[in-house]
Amino acid sequence: AGPTDLTLRVNGTARTLRAEPRVTLLDALRENLDLTGSKKGCDHGQCGACTVLVDGRRVNACLTLAVMAQGKEITTVEGLAQGDHLHPMQEAFIKHDGFQCGYCTPGQIVSAVACVKEGHATSDDQCREWMSGNLCRCGAYPNILAAVREVAQ
């Protein structure tokens, strides 16, 4: 099969694109829709840099086919802020220095938002477990944990 028309609902807006049925949600977001906040670290479901929310649940966009995300509500890191107001998790990452190079940060923040929203942030251990799919090669883990815990309070 060749390219096909897809409609994805991203950050509250319906977007159409033309892509091969095998294209991943991550590539559709980055290559077709110019939403480059979601990062491609490994492209194999191992690093979490590509984390987005689909119908409120966290997924690795590199392991999700764009066609499968049609009809669902996709939220990327670009969709977290409200106008000029950063999401509280974004504010907390800044306050606690939850990053160094920043490459993993969009995925970390989206994962952290889901962590709190789904009630997995009631202890440090729970947070660490939930966030364990998001790798940070700079080792900012203690600061990331501090940010998540503050928002969860």
Q: Could you give the CA distance from residue 151 to residue 124 in angstroms, rounded to a whole number? A: 13
Q: What is the nearest approach in angstroms of ligand FES to the Cβ of residue 115?
A: 16
Q: Work out which of 17, 20, 36, 42 binds ligand FES, going by CB under 6 A.
A: 42
Q: CB atoms < 10 A from the CB of 122, how many?
A: 11
Closer to ligand FES by CB, 111 or 143: give it.
111
Query: Quick one: which segment of 7-15, 27-35, 42-50, 92-100 binds ligand FES (CB under 6 A)?
Result: 42-50
3-state secondary structure of 129: helix
Q: Which two tokens stand for residue 31?
A: 């290559």
Q: Work out whether 43 is an interface residue with ligand FES (CB under 6 A).
A: yes
Query: Quick one: which segment of 36-44, 71-79, 82-90, 114-122 binds ligand FES (CB under 6 A)?
Result: 36-44
Q: Work out whether 50 is an interface residue with ligand FES (CB under 6 A).
A: yes
Would you give the DSSP letter of residue 66?
G
3-state secondary structure of 7: strand
**In this structure, is the dihedral angle defined by the CA atoms of residues 58, 61, 63 and 65, taken in order, positive or negative?**
positive
Residue nearest to ligand FES (CB): 62
Q: Which residues bind ligand FES (CB under 6 A)?
A: 40-43, 45-50, 60, 62
